[in-house]
Amino acid sequence: MKKNIVLFVLFVLPIVAYLFFASGVNSFTKLPTITPKIADFGNWKSLKGEKVTLNNKITILGFSGSEILKNRGNFFNLNEKIYQRYNGFKDLQFVVVCPLGTEKDAKKIEESLGSFTDVSGWHFIFASPDEIKTFYDQLHLKGKLDANLGTPNVYIVDKERNLRGRKDKDEYKEGYNTFHPSELSNEMLDDFKIILYEYRAALKKNHNATKEL
């Protein structure tokens, strides 16, 4: 009996611990709110001339800047690491805010992604430089847009328009750098799973409450 206990402690327990931490320590916690109730988009239109809203959608939000083609690799990284994995989730959208005048470049990006991906969940929307600055400023982020009104970072916004991320004494993370695939595969994927877990848990709770009624 003692021999079995020793073998369990030496071999089985470390494996269980590894699997737990590898799956994401944050998997059963709530992802903090960085900025609550951010503003919705204005009457900004997508490439299809449609109005896009943050309401009732889990949104991965990005800012392309005017050099969208130069930074196209960032979109392919995001598409491969996150979008393709979850594009079947109907309440998820990827929204990229672009300066007016970059419509043709954005169209090229969308067409390139569309050659191997269902891009129905991608939305490139367009606004003036002043509108983009105003919208970004109200996010109250530490990071800033560059001179071209862009950033390699993307942000998670929940269905109630709360900008979510990591925020505690030891770690603060308001965005995820699309230039680094490893950051998307690790930090962002882990945090995104938390958001999905929250909503699945809420749906299950509401379903059970309905059954009880």
For residue 11, the model assigns a pLDDT of: 57
Residue 1's pLDDT band (cuts 50, 70, 90)? low
Confidence of residue 30 (pLDDT cuts 50, 70, 90): confident
Q: What is the pLDDT of residue 25?
A: 42
CA distances from 211 to 58, 199, 200, 205 (A): 26, 18, 17, 10
Class in CATH terms, 32-212: alpha beta
What are the sequence ranges of the domains in the chain? 32-212
DSSP single-letter state for residue 179: T
Contact 190, 173 (CB under 8 A): no
Picking from 20-24, 77-81, 143-147, which range would have the lowest pLDDT averaged per residue?
20-24
Average pLDDT on 154-161 reads: 97
What pLDDT does 27 receive?
40
- Mean pLDDT of the chain, nearest integer: 86
- 3-state SS of 93-155? EEEEEEECCCHHHHHHHHHHHHCCCCHHHEEEEEECHHHHHHHHHCCCCCCCCCCCCEEEEEE
Which pair of tokens denotes residue 159?
């269905």
Residue 2 has a pLDDT of: 57
Q: At residue 41, does pLDDT exceed 50?
A: yes
Residue 164 predicted with pLDDT over 60: yes
3-state class (DSSP) for residue 59: strand
CA pair distance 54, 77, nearest whole angstrom? 23
Q: Per-residue pLDDT for 18 more than 90?
A: no
Q: Provide mean pLDDT across the span 6-29.
A: 48
pLDDT tens digits for range 109-147: 999 999 999 999 999 999 999 999 999 999 999 999 999
